[in-house]
Chain A
Amino acid sequence: MAQIAAKKCRDSFAVVFDFYAPRVKSYMLRLGANEIEAEDLAQDVMVTVWRKAGMYDRKQASVSTWIFRVARNRRIDKFRQTTRPDLDADEPMLRPPDIEQPEAAFHRVQIEETVRAELVKLPPEQLELLHAAFYEGLSHSEIATKFNLPLGTVKSRIRLAFGRLRGRLDPADGPPDDIERDMT
């Protein structure tokens, strides 16, 4: 990526293109694009990757994460299909800031490594739900319908998997306890 940004290296771009274009195409197909649309979108994404390569910072994200973001934004432009959250009481977003958590506790490079290492270890029934949520962008209730599972099962499996990917081998999985404790 550095070669593309600094030297406009076409060979490096070809390598990136050959690996990612077919995957981005696969992603677009999965999201409902037809063959031609998927091909065009993948092209578009790769052209954007070339043009924005200077903005890529490997300390911030892996190449895959960065390219996914580019693809995601193209997807948003293309499909304009958005969802509104069903906010859960245990959202970090709704909690008071956790001032005890030091900034140093999270480095993006480390996060990427942990996610990768733990992803391959996930049991299939957790991985497939994670895939539906984070890759296909389905809501929990859509996932419940698709996999014919109770909503609570979907939520608890995803929560469990997410805890592991955050590097917690033993995620505190009982929000009611946590919430009660945090109330005080």
Chain B
Amino acid sequence: MMQDSATSSFSELYSAYAAGRLDPAFALLLETQSMLRPDVRGALAVSEAISGSLLESAEPVQMSAGAGARALDLIDALEAEETPATRAPMHDDELADLPAPLRDPVLDALGAKGWQGTAPGIRRMKLDVGSDLEVELYRIQPGARVPRHTHGGKEFTLVVSGGFSDETGSFGPGDLAVKGPEDTHQPVGDAGEVCFALAVRDAGLRFTGVMGLIQRVLGK
């Protein structure tokens, strides 16, 4: 049984996120996963509550005289200038169903370079989230095969909807597949619905001696 899996486990990923130091690509991965997974959502909520409580108990440092009044002046000034209409977002019925954190960068990318075909039934789109890492959304049709590939570095793939399977197992919504340079695989879209997956790649990501464990955790 895994009744305590999420609670007994914790690492710096969540504190880095809560404190605002997590790389934006991983922050997006984590936020998206939290929309799909109550346990991850819970871990994030606890983490942010910790940060918030610590702010409350921070030793206050006096603001300069009249700071509050100046803030209100600034507010008046900002409200005087009518905020311009926000950009008209791209619309796409299918993508509109993506979890909220993912939707904006995806619709931005759709308006920029858009989808690229990779293989029959496989499309991918590069997302710009302000990270040095490579971030891509995959769209995999049922039965479509992602060409067999290896990885220069580590690749983290989060299934957002639908599912895919490879030699190591099947991955469904909320599952995160981690592949390294030593892995060659050929994911195939599961039957049923179209699979959307978010991939984050980095050649230089380091692991701390737990790679074997990670592989076993994921190799269901």
Contacts and interface: CB of A to CB of B under 8 A. Distances in A.
B160 interface: no
Interface string A83-120: 11111111111111110111101101001100110010
B87 interface: no
A67 interface: yes
A2 B15 CA distance: 29
Given A47-B74, A64-B56, A106-B42, A112 B49 contact: yes
B80 interface: no
Contacts of A64: 52-53, 55-56
Contact of A134 (B3, B51, B63, B64): B51
Given A89-B217, A92-B37, A165-B46, A61 B7 contact: no
Interface residues of B, number: 78
Nearest to B41: A106
A81 B21 contact: yes
Contacts of A94: 176, 178, 214, 217-218
Contacts of B19: 72, 133-137
A115 to B, nearest CB: 4
A39 B64 CA distance: 8
Contacts of A173: 8
A82 interface: yes
B166 interface: no
A65 B208 CA distance: 31
B204 to A, nearest CB: 8
Contact of A89 (B23, B45, B214): B214
A2 B152 CA distance: 51
Contacts of B88: none
A71 interface: yes
Contacts of B43: 92
B18 A134 contact: yes
B78 interface: yes
A11 B200 CA distance: 46
Interface in A6-48: 10, 13-14, 17-18, 20-27, 29-30, 38-39, 42-43, 46-47
Contacts of A62: 49, 52-53
Contact of A88 (B22, B51, B63, B210): B210
Contacts of B39: 92, 95, 97-98, 101
Given A14-B68, A172-B4, A106 B12 contact: no
B68 A179 contact: no
Contacts of A171: 4, 7-8
Interface in B1-47: 1-13, 15-16, 18-24, 26, 30, 33, 36-43, 45-47
15 contacts: A22-B62, A24-B55, A26-B59, A26-B60, A39-B67, A47-B75, A71-B55, A87-B210, A90-B9, A92-B39, A100-B3, A139-B12, A171-B8, A175-B8, A178-B5
Interface of B: 1-13, 15-16, 18-24, 26, 30, 33, 36-43, 45-56, 58-64, 67-68, 70-72, 74-75, 78, 131, 172, 174-176, 178, 202, 205-208, 210, 213-214, 216-218, 220
